Amino acid sequence: MAEQSRRDFIGLALGGISTVGGVLALGAMKKSWDPLPSVQSAGFVSVDLSGMNEGEMHTVQWRGKPVFILRKSADTPSNDKRDIRIGEKRFVVLIGLCTHLGCIPSYEASSRTFKCACHGGVFDASGIQTFGPPPRPLDIPPFKCNGETIVLGEEGAEFQKMTKKA
């Protein structure tokens, strides 16, 4: 009897330690799939906004993603939660990936909208979705204003204010 239960215990212990080892190994394998440190610490991008005309849209690349920078023209409706004001000028900075499935919408200057070709999503000039499947407005990347230059990747006071409100 005692012999029997000791054998059971050793069998269970062997099963238990194998399971623990298996789980730890799976954890290690999961970590191998994580983004590498060099990918995670991708750099900061500074963009000079002083040369932009009203209604002009620029695309810059930040951490492999397109970022839209639009200087709103005077008659474009403003959105206090999303506009960046530098003096009299109003800018919007958006990550240019459709919040539905990540295609790059294109800016249609005539209607002042961003249109996504993949599934027909439409966003207004502030990046708010107005039609189709996108579940939320275009994301705003972390930014910091230095005069008429903005740095993408750094969280400035304006960005923190925006995200707090949202």
Partner 1 sequence: MAQIKKAEGFIDWLDQRLAVKAFMRVMMSEYWIPKNINFLWAMGVVLIALFAVLLVTGLLLLMYYKPDVNLAFDSVNYTIMQEVEYGWLWRHMHGVAASATFLIIYIHLFTAIYYGSYKKGREMIWLTGMVLFVAFSAEAFSGYMLPWGQMSYWAAQVITNLFSGIPVIGDEVVIWIRGDYVVADATLTRFFMLHVVLLPLVILAVIAVHFYSLRFPHVNNQDSVELDFEAEAQKYKEGRIKESRVVPFWPVFLSKDFFVVGFFMTFFFFLVCYHFDFAMDPINFEPANSMKTPAHIYPEWYFLWNYEVLRGFFFDIGGIAAMDIGLIAFVFANVVFFLLPFLDRNAMNTAPAHKRPAFFVWFWLLIVDMIVLTVYGKLPPTGVNAWVGFFAAVVFLGLFIALPFITKLESKGERQ
Binding site for partner 1 (CB under 8 A): 30, 33-36, 39, 42, 59, 61, 63-66, 100-104, 106, 117-120, 132-135
Q: Least distance from C-beta 59 to partner 1, angstroms?
A: 7
Q: Which is nearer to partner 1, 76 or 99 (CB)?
A: 99
Q: Which is nearer to partner 1, 4 or 32 (CB)?
A: 32
Q: Least distance from C-beta 144 to partner 1, angstroms?
A: 19
Q: Least distance from C-beta 61 to partner 1, angstroms?
A: 6
CB atoms < 10 A from the CB of 18, how many?
10
Q: Least distance from C-beta 103 to partner 1, angstroms?
A: 5
Q: Which is nearer to partner 1, 61 or 146 (CB)?
A: 61
C-alpha span between 83 and 106 (Å, rounded): 19
Q: Which is nearer to partner 1, 22 or 120 (CB)?
A: 120
